Structure 1
Amino acid sequence: MELRLLVTFEKVATVLSFTQAAAELKYAQSSVTSQIRALESSLGTELFDRLGSRIRLTEAGERLLPYARQIIELSEEARAAVVGAQEPAGTLAVGTMESLTSYRLPPLLEFFHHRYPGVRLSLRTTLGDETRQALRQGTYDVGFLMEEETEHVGLESEVLAVEPLALVAAPGHPLAGNPVGTADLVRQPLLATEPGCAYRDLFERELNSLAADPVSFMEFGTIEATKRAAAAGLGISLLPEVTVAAELAEGSLVRLRWEPPFTLRTQLAWRAGKRLPGHVRLFVEQARKLVSEQG
């Protein structure tokens, strides 16, 4: 089995699309199709079921996939060992989220940009479940999570920092300045980012534990939009403290005296059993150092 055929197979198996695989590998789609057929011919079995415009792995394809990934990873490790004296280089697909990209990761990204220009970072914004699935499938090399749980099926993860949360509102809000209980929040106008964000989902669960009817949120696409709406007096919002530190300092937002009954932790994760190439290990080490120092 040729390595290039396994690389193509692994990409198609990951994205389940010949078209997308061709685009990511920078091949013509006909080349991807012919390589998969060549691999199937050499093995004497079909690796994909063609279902109209969709494909899925056959049982043989499912069995081959973990071996293909091991072979590819060993090949990358061997190459890194041979050229180890050279500067780290390679593409690194990183799953992340807005709050981390904008407020936690700039020092890490700046460090890699200046110190290791051969490492090409590709940041892809997704939320918890989607990030975990992309890591298991191999679409992402590593992914940042902000979650209550620290163990994730099929993944290895490392806690980088506890992520404090702040319940914020506009100055002069009726609840400002006094201790606030969860029951006080149920009838308040609530602002949030999209569902799937861990702190929003946990906050919603906590409020619904005391509400007669499910609470509703006015949803905004970004943290910046959510902060502006809160500062304009449209409601209250629970956000990572790091994202509202500047507004709290300047007084455009105030922190309400409510302590979340849950704890979120910023984590870095990768597929369990994955052999991390040198440039990926370097990223993990620097993330551990730089992000943890901010905590």
Structure 2
Amino acid sequence: MELRLLVTFEKVATVLSFTQAAAELKYAQSSVTGQIRALESSLGTELFDRLGSRIRLTESGERLLPYARQIIELTEEARAAVVGAEEPSGALTVGTMESLTSYRLLPLLELFHHRYPGVRLSLRTTIGDETRQALRQGAYDVGFLMEEETRHAGLDVAVLAVEPLALVAAPGHALAGVPAARTADLVGQSLLATEPGCAYRDLFERELNSLEPAGSGVSFTEFGTIEATKRAAAAGLGIALLPEVTVAAELAEGTLVRLPWEAPFTLRTQLAWRAGKRLPGHVRLFVKQARRLVSEEG
């Protein structure tokens, strides 16, 4: 089995798309298709089921995938050992989330762009369960999490920083003038949020639901992104619980105010990778620099 065929197979198996794999590998789609057929021919078995415009791994493909990833990892490690560690290089797929990419990771990304151009970063925006599952399956090399828990089955974790939260609203909101707000004071308020799956949104919802009559539940107006949620809050459409780092500028400008409510839970920004995975040198470097720079930002 040729290494380049395994690299192409691993990419297609990760993204489950010949078109996307071709774009990321910078191949023509016909080349990707041809390489997969060549690998299937050499093994004497089909690796993908073609289902119209979609594909999925066959049982043979599922069995091959972990071996392909091990071979690729070992090859990159061997290359780094022979060439030396002076110039780190290699592909690095990172699971992240909007709040971290926009407000925490820029110093880290700038460092790798300027100092380590041989490390090819690919950022994938997912949250919570999706990120953890992608790490366990090997689709991501590392992934950033913002969670209450710091132990995750099948993953090794580095806790980078405590992530303070802020409950915000437009200036003049009724709760802005009280000395302290209780959770009971928030029930019945217009609530704004990003999509379900964000740890802080889900924990906030759980806290509010603990005070609601059985079966009623709270409801949020969902805006999908942090920026849209902030704009809605500033326009007086309701209150929103967001990471403090994402609203620092608006609080300083006065377009948002912080309401006097303290969250009864604590989130921590974390970096995770598959437990027991042999991390290549450029991935270890990313973990090291993330510990330094993201912790300093926190």
Identify whether the pair has TM-score above 0.5, normalized to the shorter chain. Answer: yes
Contact 2:95 2:142 survives alignment (8 Å): yes
In the TM superposition, 1:220-239 aligns within 5 A as 220-239=223-242
Runs of at least 5 residues in structure 1 that lack an aligned partner in the other structure: none
User: Whole-Å Cα distance in 1 between the matches of residues 75 and 59 of structure 2?
Assistant: 25
2:78 corresponding residue in structure 1: 78
> 1:156 is aligned with what amino acid?
D
Whichever residue aligns with residue 102 of structure 1, its letter is: S
Query: In the alignment, residue 88 of structure 2 is paired with which amino acid?
Result: P
Identity of aligned residues (%): 88
When residues 51 and 287 of structure 1 are mapped into structure 2, their CA distance, relative to the original with a 3 A threshold, is: same
Q: How does 1:1-12 map to 2 (within 5 A)?
A: 1-12=1-12
Deviation, 1:28, is: 2.9
Q: Which residue of 2 aligns with 1:179?
A: 180
Displacement of 1:89? 2.4
What's the Cα RMSD here? 2.0
Query: CA 1:238–1:4 in structure 2 vs 1: closer, same or farther (change >3 Å)?
Result: same
Matched residue type, 2:269: T
Closer, same or farther in 2 for the Cα pair 1:179/1:267, shift >3 Å? Answer: same
Alignment partner, residue 151 of structure 1 = 151
CA deviations over 1:147-177 (Å, ceiling 9, x no partner): 1222233332211111111111223322123
2:57 alignment partner AA: L
| Counterparts of residues 1-295 of structure 1 (less than 5 Å) | 1-176=1-176, 177-212=178-213, 213-295=216-298
Task: Give the CA deviation at 1:293.
Answer: 1.7
Moved more, 241-250 or 98-107: 241-250
- The CA distance in 1 between the partners of 2:34 and 2:112, in whole Å, is 38
Name the CA distance, whole Å, in 2 between partners of 1:36 and 1:148.
42
State the secondary structure of the residue aligned to 2:174: coil
Question: Which stretch shows the higher mean deviation, 276-285 or 49-58?
Answer: 49-58
**Contact 2:9–2:36 (8 Å) recurs in 1:** yes
Change (3 A) 1:228 1:31: closer
- Mapped to 2, the partners of 1:22 and 1:49 lie a distance apart of 18
> Which stretch shows the higher mean deviation, 281-290 or 49-58?
49-58
For 1:214, the aligned partner's letter is G
Q: For 1:224, give the aligned amino acid.
A: E
Count of residue pairs brought into register by the alignment: 295
Query: 2:103·2:246 contact (CA, 8 Å) conserved in 1?
Result: yes
Q: Name stretches of at least 5 consecutive residues in structure 2 with no aligned partner.
A: none
The verdict on how the C-alpha distance between 1:28 and 1:102 changes in structure 2, with shifts beyond 3 A counting, is: closer
CA distance in 1, matches of 2:16, 2:169: 45
Quote how far apart the aligned CAs of 1:85 are: 4.4
Comparing 251-260 and 142-151, the one that deviates more: 251-260
Q: Normalising by structure 2, what TM-score?
A: 0.90
Asked if the contact 2:128–2:199 (Cα under 8 Å) also holds between the matched residues in 1, the reply is: yes
The separation in 1 between residues aligned to 2:236 and 2:194, in whole angstroms, is 16
Alpha-carbon distance between aligned partners in 2 of 1:104 and 1:216, rounded to the nearest angstrom: 29
